[in-house]
Amino acid sequence: MPLDSGVWAYLALPGETSPLPASGVLPPGVLRDDYPLPPLPRWPLRAHGGAFRDTLARLPAVRTPRLREYREALRHS
């Protein structure tokens, strides 16, 4: 979910957010309120295979047909 720039700025740099937008040239020591967007990932997020397999093995629901297919596919890969 996209975050509002004020929320992102508060999470990234707490204590450096300004409630009023700055306009024109800022005097020295005044903090800007237009923080850059975070960089996009270079590749899609994927679960670590071993961690996923071990977590799946510990679930009681692994005996259901759908999760059993995942477990078998991981075991043979």
> How much is the average pLDDT of 41-51?
82
pLDDT on residue 36: 74
Per-residue pLDDT at 49: 78
- Backbone Cα Rg of the chain: 23
Contacts of 38 (CB under 8 A, 6+ apart): 8, 12
Residues 6-25, mean pLDDT to the nearest whole number:
67
For residue 13, pLDDT over 60 is answered with: yes
Give this prediction's pTM.
0.36
Instruction: Kindly state the average pLDDT of the residues 23-34.
Output: 70
